[in-house]
Amino acid sequence: MLGVDEEEAAELLQGAVQITWSPADETAACLGMFVITMLARTFSNVGTPADPNICTSWELIINSAQPLAEKAQKLYCTIDAKRFYCGLGVDDFHFVERRPTKILCLLAASFCAAQVTNYVLNLPRGRVSRQGVLINFNEWPGVPLETWEQEADLGALQFAGVGAVGNAITYALQHLPVRGQAALIDPKPVSHGILNRCLWFDENDIGQPKAIVLAEKAGAAASKLVFTPYVKTVQQARTDLGEFNCLVVGVDSRRARRNLQNEMPLEVFDASTTGVTEVVFHHNRQFNGHACMACIYHETEAERTFAHHIAEMLNVTVEDVAEAYISAAASEKICARYGQLVPSTILGKAYDSLFRELCATDKLMTPEQKQVLAPFAFVSQLAGTVLAIELFLRRLQPSRSGNFNYWRVSPWRGIFTDLQQTRAQKSDCEVCAQSDYKWLAQEIWKQK
């Protein structure tokens, strides 16, 4: 039913969970299907109302549905147009009549999936709160329901990288009334290691260019958003596309983000994930005087330490990792440690991407042989959903961009608007503080 073969199932976590809703409840069904779509990328056994798995140890009950897995421990979830709750207790909920729009169900589904994952895997205490997660949609996104029916013209977008976060953004955009043109830029093919974080990709796509697969699938789902694939690097695509007026960034590393800001886009929407811990949203526009993407992702001690860690794990030097992409000599060294890899298939791949893929398929050999938590689809999807909502709302109401330019959201803890920040430009930023950066940007964008 989940469309996985035995080999793939073996690599999913050996968890079982039942997701239960009443078939008559359209909102619950919408939320439930989103939860299942995400959890099926993580767990080997996810039961639905139509095909229940009654022997699970955990069952998620949506909107007071009748339980199906009698002996399972229960998690409860309720959602309406104003708020969403998921946790161990039964919420004292007074339903309003209006149903939430699909995009809010998708947003809520990431938090549901995190609660379920926490309890099924029995993750260390402290990742989730005993009170569960409670989200008031009036606080964020904070717009009347009518807003979700207005069509927004997104204009021309350039997606830099269409891996996990790029998948998630386009997955969210199909549930918003948007029109526009999106260039999907990614030189690499779909690989096995990213399947558990990419909702659009499956086994049949392995080896096909990510940009082409995503343009076909996301294009078929979003009627007024036209996707054009570019199986190229961002620098190569710039020759075809000219200046980047709005880069939508979903690349793997801080370093790659700094390089992208150097392309001097007029505007940047960026979303990233910090392992499984949290997601980060960032938006900037030239000449607004606030932080650029390189200010946000400046080189840190942690990054230097992480580069050391990647070098150690992949059997290469820190200097190799600093080059960002795997050279022929480095590919030989990596394959000497990881016999399942072939030099020609990893040549030219970003170090950060290969590292994450090895994490995801649990192939990474740590000196202590301890299990590395694979990245979860619901974390990437939360990053993409937050970005898509802000992009949509900021196009409808440009002044919204003044609210914040940086926001961290935890899939485990819920939404806290007091974490929304307006970060200032860094006086020593390696990109926007360069003496000719502002002058060049003005030359490029003076007519815009």
Min. distance of Cβ 260 from Zn ion in angstroms?
A: 12
Q: Which is nearer to Zn ion, 114 or 295 (CB)?
A: 295
Nearest to 284 by CA among 248, 252, 235: 248
Q: Let me know: does 92 contact 85? Beta carbons within 8 Å.
A: no
> Given the complex with Zn ion, which of 172 and 429 has the nearer CB atom?
429
User: C-beta of 291: minimal distance to Zn ion in Å?
Assistant: 6
Beta strands at 225-230 and 178-185: parallel, antiparallel or unpaired: parallel
Closer to Zn ion by Cβ: residue 107 or 268:
268
Q: Could you give the CA distance from residue 260 to residue 161 in angstroms, rounded to a whole number?
A: 11
Task: Compare residues 13 and 247 and give the one whose CB is closer to Zn ion.
Answer: 247
Nearest distance, CB of residue 232 and Zn ion, angstroms: 26
- The bridge status of strand 133-136 relative to strand 152-160 is unpaired
- Least Å from the CB of residue 360 to Zn ion: 31
- Evaluate the CA torsion angle 204, 207, 208, 210 in order and state its sign: positive
CA 231/CA 187 separation, integer angstroms: 4
Query: CA 162 to CA 233: how far, in whole Å?
Result: 11
Closest CA to 376 of 221, 194, 246, 243: 194
Buried b (16+ CB within 10 A) or exposed e, 303-330: eeebbeebbebbbbeeebbeeeebeeeb
Nearer to Zn ion, 195 or 260 (CB): 260
Query: What is the number of alpha carbons within 13 Å of residue 55 lying toward its C-beta?
Result: 2
Host H or E run for residue 156:
strand 152-160
Q: How far is the CB of 283 from Zn ion (least distance, A)?
A: 14
Binding site for Zn ion (CB under 5 A): 292, 294-295, 429, 431-432
Give the nearest distance from C-beta 36 to Zn ion in angstroms: 41
CB of 284 to Zn ion, least distance (A): 8
- Nearest residue (CB) to Zn ion, 169 versus 295: 295
Sheet holding 225-230, edge to edge: 225-230, 178-185, 152-160, 246-249, 267-274, 278-285, 406-409
Q: Min. distance of Cβ 429 from Zn ion in angstroms?
A: 3
Cβ proximity to Zn ion: between 112 and 431 the closer is 431
Pick 5 or 428: Cβ nearer Zn ion: 428
